[in-house]
Amino acid sequence: MGSFLITSLYCRQVLGTNSVELFDLRIVVDRIEGRSVCGLKVGDYFEVTNSSELRIPDGKHFCIFAIASVLPLLPAKQRKLPADDWLEMDSFVACPDPDERVVMRIEQVRTVQLEAGDLT
């Protein structure tokens, strides 16, 4: 069974709705504890909106290795988690480059309602 069908069935049968509430996220450079070889500065950011849309401000860039380090956590941070879940209490991720030590903060910026049938 495809993921579309599983998502739609789960929402209808378990949640009693066809919509899903997710957070749009902003991933911000919180601090740099080394030297920024990739050109990121404190305050630089990218956003993940509408479940899977990556947005970087015009004229800016974001290091692909820094993005790769935070990607595995984003689906969980898009959802409401129990208060005692470690990921609910921790929002910092470090870039894997040991010379740069770029530390990013994941922020939940707003909630969006999406139709389960539109998601995979």
Provide the pLDDT confidence category of residue 6 given band limits of 50, 70 and 90: very low
Beta bridge partners, 22, equal: 112
Residue 79 dihedral angles phi and psi, to the nearest 5°: -115, 155
Question: What span, in angstroms and rounded, lies between the C-alpha atoms of 13 and 75?
Answer: 22
Q: Sign (positive/negative) of CA torsion 81, 84, 90, 96? A: negative
Quote the percentage of the chain above a pLDDT of 70: 82
Confidence of residue 119 (pLDDT cuts 50, 70, 90): low
pLDDT in tens, 87-112: 888 899 999 898 999 999 999 999 88
Pairing of strands 102-115, 92-94: antiparallel
Which structure tokens are listed for 86? 């470690």
pTM of the model: 0.79
